[in-house]
Amino acid sequence: MTAATGLVDEVAQAVRACESVYRTCNAVVDAVSTRTGASVNVLLINANHLYLGACSGVWHAPQAVRIDYGMAGQVLTTGHTIARRGAAIGCPGQHARRPVGSMICAPVRGTHETVIGVVTVESDVALADLKHWASVLAEIGTLLGARIHQLDGPSEPSPPQWLLSHTLSIATANDLTELAARFCRAAVDLSGLRCAVTLIRRANDLVDSGPPLTVVADHCGSGSRRLVDTIGALPPESLSKLIDAAARHQSAYSRGEVGIVGLGGFEPLVDVGVRTLVAATLPPGTPHPDFDAATLIMDELSVQPLPDTAVILELLMINAVASYERMSTQHRLQTLADSDPLTGLRHRRPLARRLASGAPWSTAVLAIDIDSFKAINDTWGHDVGDRALIEVADAIRQALREGDEVFRVGGDEFVALLNVASRDEALQIANRIAAAVADGGRTISVGVTLRQLEDAETTLRRADEALYAAKHGREHHLGGQSVSARGACGQVR
C-alpha cells in the first residue's frame, strides 16, 4: 500500500518539473515502471488514433493504434479503469497476442473529465492487490492529464506527418466526391484555416450549357458552416469566375479587407465575409483530367498562413489529380472487363453480384432472347445479326425505368433485373419491353420470375425455365412465382 501511495506522490512531483508533454509522459512511464518492474506506456488521442506518448520495457511498441482497439478502446469508451489478471495483449500487424500476469489500463483525463488518452501497465507476474493498483493508476492518469492541460494539451502531428497522412488518405479514395472531400479536410488541417470548398467545372464547357459546375465537397474544421453554405449558394457564373481567378493567380494566399479594390476576382468571397483565402489549383503544364478544379480554403479572421502553405497545397492538388487519373483508369478497365463490347451492356459477373444483393420478392428477373435469331445470322449474315442485337439491347434499355438494368449473358440472351412491388408490375414491364422491341420490327420471348429466398443461380434457372415455356407458347408456373411472356406484339401469356 505504502509503495503505491508513494508512487502517486513521486509522479506528482515529477510531472510538475516537466515543461513539455513529451517529457511529462516519459516521467510518468519512468516512475511507474521503476516502482512496479512492469512495462508501461502512455497513448494519447489524435484524430481517430491513439499515438504513443512514451513507453518502457518493450522492444517494439506500436506508433499508433485505433481508438476502438482492445482494452484501451474500452477505457476510452467507458472512461473507467480496467484491471485484469491473465490477460493477453497484441497489436495487429505488429506482434501476436501474448499472455501477461496482470494488466491495468486507466484513462488520462483532460479538461471537464474528457478522456484524452490512456496509461497502461503490463506485468508478467500477477500484481498483489490488483484493485488498489488500479486505483493508484487512475489517480496517476488524472495527474498526467492535468499537467498535459497546463502545457496546452497533446502536441499536434508535425506538418510532415499531416502531409503524409493526408497523401495516403487521398490515394485510397474510391470516387471523385470522396477524393475532393478528403482534399478539403487535408487543406483545412494543413493550413489551419476554418473551412474549404472544392469547385469542379467540366473543361471547355459554358456555364449555361447544362450543369457543368458543382461544389463537390467541403469541410469545416470547427465552428459554423456559414461560409461554405453561403458560397455553395452562389450562382454558377460567380463560382465559375472563382475558378478562373484561382487559375489566374495559381496557388497563393490573399488577405481580403473590406473596402480594398483590385481583389483579383475574389470579390464575392470578401462580400460574404472571407478575410483570409488560400486558393489551390493546378500549375500550368500539369497533366490534368477533363475538368477544371479549384479548392478555396478560407477563414473569417484575417490571419497569415505559413509561407509554404500554398506550395504544399499545390503539391497535394497534383497528387490528388494523379490519384483521380489512376482511379479513372481502374474504373475504365473494370468497366471494360464487366461489359459486352458490342452492346455496351454489362454481363454475367456484375449480373450475379447485383442479383445476389437483390431483395427477395421485390426483385424481378426477366430472361429474354430474340426469336429466330439463328435464322437472322444464317440468312443475312453476322453483321445484320450484330445490328439486331444492338437494336434490341437499346429498345430494352429505353423501356426500363431508372434503377432497373439489363445485362447481355450470351448470344441473343439478355437478363433484366427490376425492383418491383408485385409480380403484376413485373409483367407490365415485360409487356412494355416486348412492345418496344416489336416497334423496331423484332420479336422476343420473355420469362419472368421473382427472386425468392435462394441463391442467384437458382433464380436464374427458374427465369430460364419460364423463358423456355414462353418460347413454346405455354404458361409455366413454379410455386405461383414464375410466369412467361412472348413479345410478338407485347402479349403476355
Which CATH number fits the domain that encloses residue 434?
3.30.70.270
CATH number at residue 133: 3.30.450.40
Place of cell 428477373: 365
> Within a 10 A sphere around the Cβ of 318, how many other Cβ atoms?
17
What is the pLDDT, as a whole number, of residue 493? Answer: 36
What is the pLDDT, as a whole number, of residue 270? Answer: 82
Asked whether residue 231 is domain-assigned, the answer is yes
Cα(235)–Cα(51) distance, rounded to whole angstroms?
44
Through-space distance between the first and last CA atoms of the chain, rounded to whole angstroms: 89
For the purposes of burial, counting CB atoms within 10 Å of the CB of 1, is it exposed (0-12), middle (13-18) or buried (19 or more)?
Answer: exposed
Q: Are residues 390 and 321 in the same domain?
A: no
C-alpha cell at 367: 430472361
Partner residues linked to 88 by β-bridges? 99
Q: What is the DSSP letter of 209?
A: S
Residue ranges making up the domain that contains 16: 2-150
Residues 430 and 366: beta-carbon distance below 8 Å: yes
Asked whether residue 190 is domain-assigned, the answer is yes
Asked whether residue 491 is domain-assigned, the answer is no
Does this model's pTM top 0.75?
no
Give the CA angle between residues 360, 366, 369 to the nearest 5°: 155
> Within a 10 A sphere around the Cβ of 202, how many other Cβ atoms?
16
What is the pLDDT, as a whole number, of residue 204? Answer: 56
Asked whether residue 341 is domain-assigned, the answer is no
Cα(38)–Cα(120) distance, rounded to whole angstroms?
10
Q: Are residues 282 and 357 in the same domain?
A: no
Of 309, 334, 359, which residue sits at a domain end? 334
What is the pLDDT, as a whole number, of residue 246? Answer: 84
What is the pLDDT, as a whole number, of residue 110? Answer: 85
Asked whether residue 342 is domain-assigned, the answer is no
Q: At what angle do helices 309-338 and 159-171 cross, to 10 degrees?
A: 20
- What is the total count of domains within the chain? 3
Q: Are residues 255 and 375 in the same domain?
A: no
Cα(415)–Cα(425) distance, rounded to whole angstroms?
17
Q: Are residues 239 and 383 in the same domain?
A: no
What is the pLDDT, as a whole number, of residue 143? Answer: 95
Q: Are residues 427 and 447 in the same domain?
A: yes
Q: Are residues 388 and 285 in the same domain?
A: no
Asked whether residue 356 is domain-assigned, the answer is yes
Q: Are residues 135 and 84 in the same domain?
A: yes
From 220, 224, 236, select the one nearest 181 (Cα to Cα).
Answer: 220
Cα(59)–Cα(42) distance, rounded to whole angstroms?
15
Residues 370 and 435: beta-carbon distance below 8 Å: no
Integer CA distances (angstroms), 4 to 12, 15, 211, in order: 13, 17, 69
What is the pLDDT, as a whole number, of residue 474? Answer: 44
Asked whether residue 115 is domain-assigned, the answer is yes
Asked whether residue 9 is domain-assigned, the answer is yes
Spell 238-248 as b/e; 16+ CB within 10 A means b: bbbbbbebbbe
Spell 398-428 as b/e; 16+ CB within 10 A means b: ebbeeebbbbbbeebebbbbbbbeebeebbe
> Within a 10 A sphere around the Cβ of 387, how many other Cβ atoms?
13
Cα(227)–Cα(245) distance, rounded to whole angstroms?
18
Give the CA angle between residues 66, 69, 74 to the nearest 5°: 125
What is the pLDDT, as a whole number, of residue 475? Answer: 43
Residues of the chain whose pLDDT is less than 50? 1, 59-60, 91-96, 205-211, 258, 261, 474-493
Percent of the chain with pLDDT over 70: 82
Of 104, 129, 150, which residue sits at a domain end? 150
Q: Are residues 310 and 378 in the same domain?
A: no
From 9, 29, 40, select the one nearest 102 (Cα to Cα).
Answer: 40
Of 103, 126, 150, which residue sits at a domain end? 150
Q: Are residues 183 and 320 in the same domain?
A: yes
Q: Are residues 362 and 482 in the same domain?
A: yes
Place of cell 488518405: 169
Place of cell 488521442: 45
Cα(230)–Cα(225) distance, rounded to whole angstroms?
8
Give phi and psi for 461, each to the nearest 5.
-65, -40
Cα(360)–Cα(362) distance, rounded to whole angstroms?
5
Q: Are residues 324 and 362 in the same domain?
A: no
What is the pLDDT, as a whole number, of residue 469? Answer: 87
Residues in the chain: 493
β-bridge pairing 39-46 and 82-91? unpaired
What is the pLDDT, as a whole number, of residue 207? Answer: 39
Q: Are residues 143 and 164 in the same domain?
A: no
